[in-house]
Amino acid sequence: MLRLLRSARPWRSLAYLASGVPVGAAVLTVLPPLVLTGLGLVPLGIGIVLLLGAGLIGVPLGALERFRLRLVDARPAPSPHRPPERRGVRAWLRTRLREAVTWQELAFAILTAVVLGPLELVVVTFAVGLSGATLFAPLVVAVAPASAVPNGARLAQSGLIWLLPPLGILVTIGMAYALVAVAQARAALARAVLVPSADSVRLVELTRSRSRLLTGFDDERRRIERDLHDGVQQRLLALSVTLGLARLELPGGSGGPGQAADPGRLAELVVGAHEESKAILDQLRELVRGIHPWILSDRGLAAAIAELAGRASVPVRTEVELPGRFARAVESTVYFVVSEALSNVDKHSGAGQATVTARYAGGVLGVDVRDDGRGGADPGRGTGLRGLADRADAAGARLLVASPPGGPTLLRLEIPCTPMQ
């Protein structure tokens, strides 16, 4: 009993219940006029917009309720909403209006306005008022007008007024337990309606990861198209022009059969075409490396990781101990995670050196990328680490990041797999 009284739970419960009162009042103030005005303006078209706003009013209130749960419940309260499949307001509206949880949030908002808000007001007023009136009864009788405290003077003259503060202590203890109980019941109801189950959370996260992956794949496809159009295609066009000019220098070209060829000019054009073809091949290799590098297919992870380390701008030490080759999807996931991790080391960490370690044990391939940089890497900010987490999740792997401010940074990939025979 004393542990509860010494803790912050009664105060947090009081704050939780008290903060629910203005939420209910806001819904009661905004929602009915919005619906009535929307119904009246439906013939003009703007009423539909107002009704949509009324239908979606539960979405921000649901987010607020999940935030308020932190006052009395330390468990996570993630959003149950799915991400839209496309960008834009229309896609967002279409997704939200088709979700059952949107209408659950609206129903809970109405329940808060009509039932929970008034109930919280009564509970908070009664608990605070009764505790204060008994604890500070002598002060209230001394300060307040006689008409405001019936029989106050009689209680003061008889001395019974001094029995109320000790009684007030017991009342306050009882009210503390009552506030905690009511707040817990209120929070349990909010969690049941507004917070998804563990399976639903997993489904939502998978949906969000899939959406980000699809967006990433689309961006990658556009990048490849742009590189082919702006790079390889233009170089091939230049090569075609160079070969066309060389053809004109050959005997029998457009200059006529009697015109002599210019060996020097012809040699210059052939050399230029040769250099241009080599540049095109190099550009194609770089492009293919971003899709699936040949060294990974031909020589495996150890050689591919060594090549990535050699291309990094900071010294990278590799320690790779693997029993053999793995499935293509596994090797590809590891390769691109290491590639992106080393790219982040080059661009953002300010590190002087890095280490890549890869070992297989207990049916799990573990890959660590460490650097001695400034740290502070956060998967929740930016798209780089989040994209790596999505790629790992798609392969059934787990990505862990430890990067305290000041460094060092450790990125660990754990992917269950079996070596190929």
pLDDT digits (tens, 9 = 90+) for 354-404: 889 999 888 889 999 888 888 777 665 555 677 777 777 777 788 888 888
Above 80 in pLDDT, residue 243?
Answer: no
**Looking at the structure, do residues 156 and 255 belong to the same domain, yes or no?**
no
Q: Residue 358: which region, alpha, beta or left (left: phi > 0; alpha: psi -120 to 50)?
A: beta
Q: Which of 291, 310, 330 is the last residue of a domain?
A: 291
**Looking at the structure, do residues 10 and 122 belong to the same domain, yes or no?**
yes
Instruction: Please report, to the nearest 10 degrees, the dihedral formed by the alpha carbons of residues 54, 56, 61, 62 taken in order.
Output: 140
- Own/partner contacts of 279-287, CB < 8 Å, gap of 24 or more, are 279/235, 280/232, 280/235, 280/236, 280/239, 283/227, 283/231, 283/232, 283/235, 284/232, 287/224, 287/227, 287/228, 287/231, 287/232
**Looking at the structure, do residues 178 and 245 belong to the same domain, yes or no?**
no
Inside any domain, residue 248: yes
**Buried b / exposed e along 249-277 (16+ C-beta atoms within 10 A):** beeebeeeeeeeeeeeebeebeebbeebe
Q: Which of 248, 273, 291 is the last residue of a domain?
A: 291
* 110-121 pLDDT, tens digit each: 999 999 999 999
**Buried b / exposed e along 331-346 (16+ C-beta atoms within 10 A):** bbbbbbbbbbbbebbb
Inside any domain, residue 24: yes
Inside any domain, residue 200: no
Q: Which of 261, 291, 321 is the last residue of a domain?
A: 291
**Looking at the structure, do residues 139 and 249 belong to the same domain, yes or no?**
no
* 77-91 pLDDT, tens digit each: 888 887 776 778 888
Across 124-140, average pLDDT: 77
Give the best-scoring range by mean pLDDT among 67-76, 87-96, 201-210.
67-76
Give 182's pLDDT tier (boundaries 50, 70, 90).
very high
Above 60 in pLDDT, residue 419?
Answer: yes
114/204 Cα distance (integer angstroms): 31
pLDDT at residue 115, rounded to an integer: 92
pLDDT at residue 164, rounded to an integer: 66
Please, which residues bridge with residue 366 across strands? 359, 414
Q: Which residue carries 């890869």 as its tokens?
A: 358
pLDDT at residue 189, rounded to an integer: 92
* 18-40 pLDDT, tens digit each: 999 999 999 989 888 888 888 88
**Looking at the structure, do residues 107 and 250 belong to the same domain, yes or no?**
no
Task: Identify the CA nearest to 183 among candidates 3, 8, 64, 12.
Answer: 12
Inside any domain, residue 349: yes
> Residue 251, preceding bond cis, omega within 30 degrees?
no
**Looking at the structure, do residues 26 and 88 belong to the same domain, yes or no?**
yes
**Looking at the structure, do residues 168 and 285 belong to the same domain, yes or no?**
no
Across 314-343, average pLDDT: 85
Above 70 in pLDDT, residue 287?
Answer: no
pLDDT at residue 168, rounded to an integer: 75
Across 57-85, average pLDDT: 86
Across 207-228, average pLDDT: 63
The more confident residue out of 378 and 309 is 309
Inside any domain, residue 202: no
**Looking at the structure, do residues 93 and 53 belong to the same domain, yes or no?**
yes
Domain count, the chain: 3
Domain that holds residue 255: 214-291
The mean-pLDDT minimum among 244-253, 304-313, 408-417 falls in 244-253
Q: What is the CATH number of the domain that holds 388?
A: 3.30.565.10
Please state the pTM of the whole predicted model. Answer: 0.51
Task: Identify the CA nearest to 344 among candidates 294, 415, 403.
Answer: 403
Please give the backbone phi and psi of residue 372, each rounded to the nearest 5 degrees, phi first. -100, 35
Across 250-273, average pLDDT: 66
**Looking at the structure, do residues 146 and 276 belong to the same domain, yes or no?**
no
**Looking at the structure, do residues 284 and 314 belong to the same domain, yes or no?**
no
**Looking at the structure, do residues 287 and 334 belong to the same domain, yes or no?**
no
pLDDT at residue 22, rounded to an integer: 92
The mean-pLDDT minimum among 216-225, 329-338, 365-374 falls in 216-225
**Looking at the structure, do residues 155 and 266 belong to the same domain, yes or no?**
no
Q: Which residue carries 């160079």 as its tokens?
A: 242
Inside any domain, residue 206: no
The more confident residue out of 84 and 146 is 84
Across 52-70, average pLDDT: 89
Inside any domain, residue 205: no
Inside any domain, residue 421: no
pLDDT at residue 203, rounded to an integer: 63
pLDDT at residue 381, rounded to an integer: 58
Q: Are 419 and 325 in contact (CB under 8 A)?
A: yes
- Tell me the pLDDT of the chain averaged across its residues: 78
